[in-house]
Amino acid sequence: MAFLDTAGSPSRLLILNGNPGTQTLCAAMAERIAERARAGGHSVRLVHLSALTFDANLKEGYRQRMDWEPDLQAVAESLTWCDRLVIVHPLWWGSAPARLKGLFDRVLMPGFGFEYIEGKALPKPLLSGRKARVVITSDTPTVFLKWVYGNGWVKVLRRQILAFCGFKDLKVMYCAPVRGATPERLKGYVDRAPAILD
């Protein structure tokens, strides 16, 4: 099944660069993905985590709701608007950067990402009908990430975050290793990134 709608109507893509830094490999990859999608006639919103202003610490968990800052309100609106989500981020200590995880914590709250149902063990996902793709950069070679470390973060992202909120058809592209890569290899990662849309 194609990620982008090939039946005639354009898809609505939210592309999230989840690297908290500026002028990064992830930013270049996200921008290249956006270029490819726009060239295909699809509607695109590109969000750089580095440009967002918000408190990434969900201080009281679900006990006390924190109001969304304007940037989080905009991200939530874009999640509602999109029918396709692409996340590009680096792997830091086997997981997402803390600020990206904080974005998930703050936005995917009960009543937006999912809803508890009285008497049911599992909540109702509220973002169903959407597909997701993830591009991960890493210093760890992919074979080690999968077979030695167990690929824990991707399991969490796939099952306990995105699928939990209703996203389906999740596929992941790995670009590694980044550390020590030549400029030609890094360019190759950027050039390859739009293939996540296929």
Residue 3 belongs to a domain: no
Mean pLDDT of 18-30: 98
Q: How many domains would you assign to the chain?
A: 1
Q: Are 50 and 20 in contact (CB under 8 A)?
A: yes
* Closest C-alpha to 27, from 51, 55, 53, 3: 51
pLDDT digits (tens, 9 = 90+) for 89-106: 999 999 999 999 999 999
Residue 2 belongs to a domain: no
Report the pLDDT value the prediction gives residue 6, as an integer from 0 to 100: 67
CATH of the domain at 99: 3.40.50.360
Residue with tokens 């296929």: 198
Residue 156 belongs to a domain: yes
CA distances in angstroms from 75 to 23, 28, 103, 112, 156, listed in the order given: 21, 20, 9, 12, 21
Residue 35 belongs to a domain: yes
Residue 1 belongs to a domain: no
Mean pLDDT of 75-94: 98
Listed in sequence order, the DSSP H helices in the chain are: 25-39, 70-81, 98-107, 142-147, 152-155, 163-165, 183-192
Neighbours of 110 (CB within 10 A): 12
Mean pLDDT of 162-168: 97
Residue with tokens 């509602």: 80
CA–CA gap between residue 16 and residue 122 (Å, rounded):
27
Whether residue 72 is predicted with pLDDT greater than 80 in this model: the reply is yes
Residue 147 belongs to a domain: yes
Q: Are 172 and 85 in contact (CB under 8 A)?
A: no
Confidence of residue 5 (pLDDT cuts 50, 70, 90): confident
- Domain of 16, in residue numbers: 12-197
Whether residue 1 is predicted with pLDDT greater than 80 in this model: the reply is no
pLDDT digits (tens, 9 = 90+) for 108-129: 999 999 999 999 999 999 999 9
The tokens for 85 are: 């989500």
Residue 69 belongs to a domain: yes
- Residues sharing a CB contact under 8 Å with residue 39, sequence separation 6 or more, in sequence order: none
Q: How do 12-17 and 43-48 pair as beta strands?
A: parallel
| pLDDT higher at 65 or 89 | 89
Q: Which DSSP letter does residue 61 get?
A: T
pTM, entire model:
0.96
CA–CA gap between residue 75 and residue 47 (Å, rounded):
8
Residue 37 belongs to a domain: yes
Residues forming a β-bridge with 95: 92
Q: Are 85 and 14 in contact (CB under 8 A)?
A: yes
Residues forming a β-bridge with 114: 110, 125
